[in-house]
Amino acid sequence: MAIGGLAAKPAVASVIAGATKPGQVRQNAAAAEWIPTKEDLEALDQAVA
């Protein structure tokens, strides 16, 4: 969720995620495919405010 949410922000040019295991790389790549809705982004903003 964090990767897709950050990637959807206009001010974010790229998201750098670390991984120490191959499975984490696959999970990070899959997370980047999620395209949050406007409501999703509003909920994320409220969660971190």
Q: How confident is the model at residue 43 (pLDDT cuts 50, 70, 90)?
A: very high
pLDDT in tens, 19-36: 999 999 999 999 888 889
Q: How far apart are CA 20 and CA 24, in angstroms?
A: 7
Q: What are the tokens at 17?
A: 């995620």
Q: How far apart are CA 25 and CA 46, in angstroms?
A: 28
Q: What are the tokens at 9?
A: 């922000």
Predicted local distance difference test score (pLDDT) of residue 19: 95
Q: Which residues contact 17 (CB under 8 A, 6 or more apart)?
A: 3, 28
Nearest to 36 by CA among 4, 3, 9, 14: 4
Q: What are the tokens at 12?
A: 């974010």
